[in-house]
Amino acid sequence: MVHARLVTMVVVLALGALTLGAGPAAAAQGGNDDTAHACQQGGWANLTDPATGQPFTSQGACVSSGAHGNPPLSASLVASNELGCGGTCWGRITGTGLQPGAGFTWGASSPMFGLAFLGSIGLSGSVDVAADLPCGEGWGNLQASSTTAAGTPISSNVANSPCG
């Protein structure tokens, strides 16, 4: 009887040591908690698979992507006042997690008139457009709109000229 208790106590202590040793190692590898939370309660429908640029088809696919080191992307559409053309023009529109084939518009205005461009989002679900608005001519209010991969309308921020 004493022998059985001693063996049981050794086993329990050994398991405890393994648990304590594995805990920090497992935590150091990172977890899937953030991805799992983002994908729950319908969140997966608003996220994009970074490997394909397409929306997830289920919560399980979203969590699995994160577990394999590919955290899901949320949709974004950004207007920036980045300089281009050797410093003589400005403006860039970038976006990810957008619906392939969806309409895409961007525009800007000057003191004299406005400008608008229409197009569509490619199969990758992303966009990268150089607006190339001329510096020194008063152009501003660069912005864009489209649709997320989940079918929700999305608008960018408004960017203004860095040229002065």
For the chain, the domain total comes to 2
Range of the domain at 44: 2-67
Domain membership of residue 59 (yes or no) is: yes
Residue 69 has what pLDDT? 81
Instruction: Note the pLDDT tens digit of each residue in 112-164.
Output: 989 999 999 999 888 999 999 999 899 999 999 999 888 889 999 999 999 86
Q: Which stretch of DSSP H or E encloses residue 110?
A: none
* Residue 145 CB coordination number (10 Å): 15
Which of 45, 67, 89 terminates a domain? The answer is 67
| Best CA proximity match to 156, nearest among 53, 97, 76, 98 | 76
- Indicate which CATH number applies to the domain containing 130: 2.60.40
Q: Find the Cα–Cα–Cα–Cα dihedral 127, 133, 135, 136, rounded to 10°.
A: -140
Residue 129 has what pLDDT? 94
Residue 160 has what pLDDT? 94
Confidence at 68, pLDDT banded by 50, 70, 90: confident
* Residue 111 CB coordination number (10 Å): 8
Domain membership of residue 162 (yes or no) is: no
pTM (two decimals): 0.63
Residue 31 has what pLDDT? 54
Q: Find the Cα–Cα–Cα–Cα dihedral 48, 149, 144, 37, rounded to 10°.
A: -40
Residue 25 has what pLDDT? 39
Mean pLDDT of the chain: 79
Residue 93 has what pLDDT? 95
Supply φ then ψ for residue 95, to 5 degrees: -160, 150
Clarify whether residues 125 and 105 are in a common domain.
yes
Residue 6 has what pLDDT? 39
The CA distance from 153 to 147, in Å, is 4
The CA distance from 137 to 37, in Å, is 47
Residue 23's Cβ-count burial label (10 Å; 0-12, 13-18, 19+) is exposed
| Best CA proximity match to 163, nearest among 109, 92, 84 | 84
Domain membership of residue 150 (yes or no) is: yes
Residue 53 has what pLDDT? 66
